[in-house]
Chains A and B, each alone.
Chain A
Amino acid sequence: MTAHIDAFDRYRHGHSILHRLDPRLKVVIVVAYIVSNSLLPDGAWSAFTAAWLVLLLANALAGLGITYTFKRSFVALPFALAAVTVLFVPEGNPLVDVHIMRSTFLVTDAGLVRFGSIVARSWLSVQMAILLVTVTQFPDLIHAWEHLRVPRILTTVVAFLYRYLFVLSDEVLRLLRAREARSAAAPGHRAGGSLAWRARGAGHLAGQLFVRSYERSDRIYQAMLARGYSGHIRTLNPHDVHLRDWLVAFVALILIAALQWLGWR
């Protein structure tokens, strides 16, 4: 069991128009789309539907099949639980009584609209974010940030994090497997010690991981110096914005503006 790159990275190789689009324009478009979703008023169902159609179009343009991001979009769902409470906004007309523990909650139409809108916004936004990393290699994304004036120290730390994430994940999986191998339990018998004992075990794993990471960072630095590292990370992909990129970005921003118009009409 090793953490291969696909355990974390969603990038899917391709040559579609979205794959080839300049990364910084992709970041700008995705952020604009997400901001546009937050700006749409509650209950703007036609605009939410149109935003969903834009998303399907983007999926198709990326050559992934139109349901690609939908299948991977359930990560944000648990959080919707927190928003369930807005169902009971006292404004608006009551629809259904819910009885929980001798108390009566009224689900109102205003609450239902608010809840639906929050879930729609979040679900559309998370799908667009998934699409971004599906059609952009992570190092290119980091490079895009550099162009967008994110401080270099931050992008470099993120680049190292990405590079060593997989190495240290392997390390942690080895530690966890070793713990697993030493944690045999006979059927019918309680295994393991007290809560504090188990927590101490986990803490020792974390401490051990820290020591190994620290020592590794030293070797990494020496190896990088030996290969000519000069304090910043290079990429082979030239990031030039062509006319075609500007055109795609222009069309995308027009579409987003149209969504706003539809929502506030």
Chain B
Amino acid sequence: MYFSPVVLHIPDGFLSLTVALVCWLLTVVLVGLAISKTNRSLGDRQVPLMGVMAAFIFAAQMINFPVAGGTSGHLIGGALAAVLLGPWAAMIVMTAVIAVQALLLQDGGLVAMGANILNMGLLTVAISAGLYRVVARRSAQVRLLVCGAAAWLAVLAGALATSLELWLSSTVSLQVVVPAMLGLHAVIGVGEALITVAAVAFLLRTRPDLVTNGADGPAGLGWVAAGLALSALTLLLVPFASSDPDGLERVARDLGFLARGQPRFGPLIDYAFAGLADTPAASIGAGLVGALVVLAAILVVGRALRGRS
């Protein structure tokens, strides 16, 4: 198979029109901002470069490596694009990639494209670029470490956004799908983190001139703030959404995100998880342990890569 689809591509028919339109609105505003920023800073020279870079991300998604039991890890690319191209250019590149996947391969819908661009293109880039900028002037090892952590977190944030959008469209039940999506993408994110770290390490060693993002120019405090805020939001919402979906549902209802007449997924579903640890504390603990394991894995890989260079 030439192309392994990512679970995050939402097809048409799964989002309610309201959710799809709100996502389109956010996407149009952010991409419009990215276009006006890049138009100001880039010449004609950079447009073909961005096109080739978009083709690079598309092709890089075909690179996979065997994990275990017939499954394979592969790249989504948001973090890599953010680190190599800078946030605004990366947003345009990811938008182009997701648009072509939807148009050419029907990987993701047309009306749902706004949501897909938001989840996989804009959110991942904002988190990765923001976190990377914090350490842009630090040593290579620190940068690689943050790069990996950002890639993992970005995938998780994309999965969280996807499941919340599906839930707000009452297409899935929060109680089952959020833990399933987050669990699956916590694993997919490790693959993403490992490949991203290895690719950036390779480039730092062979072509350091190409990895310049953030090291030059202003510090980009806005990006740092956006990246940190989105990361914090993800880290707060993930345990809350997976441990206390009823609480989340109540909050959404009170804030008016959920209509009164919408089908409610009731306590029946809860029986499935009655045996599992259900308390928020246990879930947050599990999340922390998971995060620590990933950090440790990245640290080990970083050290191994360091040893090579």
Q: Is B258 an interface residue (CB 8 A)?
A: no
Bitwise, A47-60 to B at CB < 8 A (1) or not (0) is: 00000000000000
A199 contacts B191, C-beta separation under 8 Å = yes
A75 to B3, CA, bound (A): 12
Chain B interface residues (CB < 8 Å from chain A): 2, 5, 7, 9-17, 20, 31-32, 35, 38-39, 44-45, 47-56, 58-60, 62-68, 73-75, 80, 84, 92-93, 95-97, 99-100, 102-107, 109-111, 166, 170-173, 176-177, 181, 191, 194-203, 206-207, 210, 263-269, 271-272, 274, 297, 300-301, 304-305
What chain B residues lie within 8 Å of A216 (beta carbons)? 52
A224 to B45, CA, bound (A): 11
Q: A82-B177, A129-B12 are in contact. Are A202 and B52 (CB under 8 A)?
A: no
- Among residues 142 to 196 in chain A, which have CB atoms less than 8 Å away from a CB atom of chain B? 151, 153-154, 156-165, 167-169, 171-173, 175-176, 192, 195-196
For the A-B complex, the count of residue pairs with Cβ-Cβ distances under 8 Å equals 305
CB of A41, distance to nearest CB on chain B (Å) = 12
Q: Is A68 an interface residue (CB 8 A)?
A: no
A193 to B66, CA, bound (A): 11
Known: A172-B59, A206-B63, A207-B206. 17 other contacts (CB 8 A): A35-B17, A37-B12, A76-B13, A86-B170, A89-B266, A104-B271, A105-B269, A122-B13, A126-B109, A130-B106, A154-B35, A158-B54, A162-B104, A163-B55, A199-B65, A206-B202, A217-B52
A90 contacts B268, C-beta separation under 8 Å = yes
Among residues of A, the one whose C-beta sits closest to the C-beta of B56 is: A213
* Chain A interface, number of residues (Cβ within 8 angstroms): 93
Interface of B is mostly: helix
Task: Pick the contact of B194: A34, A110, A163, A196 (CB < 8 A).
Answer: A196
CB of A37, distance to nearest CB on chain B (Å) = 6
Q: Is A101 an interface residue (CB 8 A)?
A: yes
What chain B residues lie within 8 Å of A254 (beta carbons)? none
Task: Pick the contact of A154: B92, B170, B194 (CB < 8 A).
Answer: B92
Closest 5 CB pairs of A and B: A160-B51, A203-B198, A122-B13, A121-B13, A207-B202
Among residues of A, the one whose C-beta sits closest to the C-beta of B8 is: A79
B17 contacts A39, C-beta separation under 8 Å = yes
Interface of A is mostly: helix
Task: Pick the contact of B47: A105, A156, A171, A198 (CB < 8 A).
Answer: A156
A220 to B56, CA, bound (A): 14
B263 contacts A207, C-beta separation under 8 Å = no
Q: Is A256 an interface residue (CB 8 A)?
A: no
A85 contacts B176, C-beta separation under 8 Å = yes
A85 to B172, CA, bound (A): 6
A30 contacts B110, C-beta separation under 8 Å = yes
B65 contacts A201, C-beta separation under 8 Å = yes
A105 contacts B95, C-beta separation under 8 Å = no
B95 contacts A154, C-beta separation under 8 Å = yes
Binds B, one of A2-10, A12-20, A240-248: A2-10
Q: A79-B10, A206-B195, A217-B48 are in contact. Are A153 and B263 (CB under 8 A)?
A: no
